Amino acid sequence: MTAEAVTNSSIRPACAVHLDLDGAEHIFRVHGWPYGADRDRLFESGLRSALDLFSELDIKATLFVIAEDLGDPSKLQLLREAVELGHEVASHTTTHRLLTHLRPSERREEIHDSRSRLMQTLGAAVEGFRAPAFDVDIDVLRDVSEAGYVWDSSLFPTSGTSHGLPPIEAAPHRLALDTPLVELPLPRYSPLPLPFHPSYSFVLGIWYFRWGLRRFQRTHAPMVLLFHLTEFSEPLRRADIPGLRARLYTLSHLSRSTKLALCRLTLDEVRPTYRIVTTSALWADWVT
């Protein structure tokens, strides 16, 4: 099915649920904050809560795993449980560094090595990729294709170009980069100032998600609904938080029960107009 056929279909558009597995260690590292806790409770409590909620709602999500987390026994146990439950695995690089800031050899290691490590350790197919902080350019995407991924989901729809990239459509499409890589774009949010996925809407208010969703629904395009572990986790202890920004970035101003209620509400907003499917099914809809 072509992107045009998917967009114009009278069937409810598909929605794939994605979960980026940025734990406290990676969130703190990217911002330059010290992290002195003995374990990553944000990761552990967040993934545990997400798996429980997805099981209750019969959702098979795609988990974007940072490959270095495979070396942590507690994290590895949860990741293996997720695979056994039928969730799909995609790469979020090896160490969660900004890819356009790296030397070519480092960039390739982040992209190529993460895929091979995830497949070998988890025994799962790894067909998709998302760059940390959506930080991509043409060289990144070519490396993603060369590493054997069949789809990327790092880009938001744009009418113009940035980083030398071609315009990005609202529906899944093959990138005009002389590669077979398919882009599963994140939802268009313009003219809103920020994406409306839960990381932002849980801070700004659920009204922001509803507003962005209503605007995006007019495209009739399939949707990628992006969650992060912060939307499911226990709030970090005050002793582990270096300041207000860290408190907001980890959503530690909200209780886990409040977060889970908001996650349910978010999914309730999506379900009436979208079919929740696996990312593999969303990609297969496009290529068949």
Confidence band of 160 (pLDDT split at 50, 70, 90): low
Give the right CATH number for 3-287 from 3.40.47.10, 3.30.70.270, 3.20.20.370, 1.10.3720.10. 3.20.20.370
pLDDT for 55 beyond 90: yes
Torsion of CA 254, 224, 148, 176, to 10 degrees: -130
What digits encode the pLDDT tens for the residues 214-266? 999 999 999 999 999 999 999 999 989 999 999 999 999 999 999 999 999 99
Percent of the chain with pLDDT over 70: 94
pLDDT at site 163: 67
Rounded Cα distance, 132 and 119, in Å: 20
Calculate mean pLDDT across residues 57-72: 98
pLDDT at site 211: 97
Tell me the whole-structure pTM to 2 decimals: 0.94
Rounded Cα distance, 261 and 162, in Å: 37
Cis peptide before 242 (omega within 30 of 0): no
**In sequence order, what are the beta bridge partners of 65?**
91
Domain ranges of the chain: 3-287
For 182, list phi and psi in degrees, rounded to 5.
-100, 135
What digits encode the pLDDT tens for the residues 94-142? 999 999 999 999 999 999 999 999 999 999 999 999 999 999 999 999 9
Average per-residue pLDDT in the chain?
93
Rounded Cα distance, 69 and 114, in Å: 11
**In sequence order, what are the beta bridge partners of 15?**
223, 276
What digits encode the pLDDT tens for the residues 196-211? 999 999 999 999 999 9
pLDDT at site 268: 97
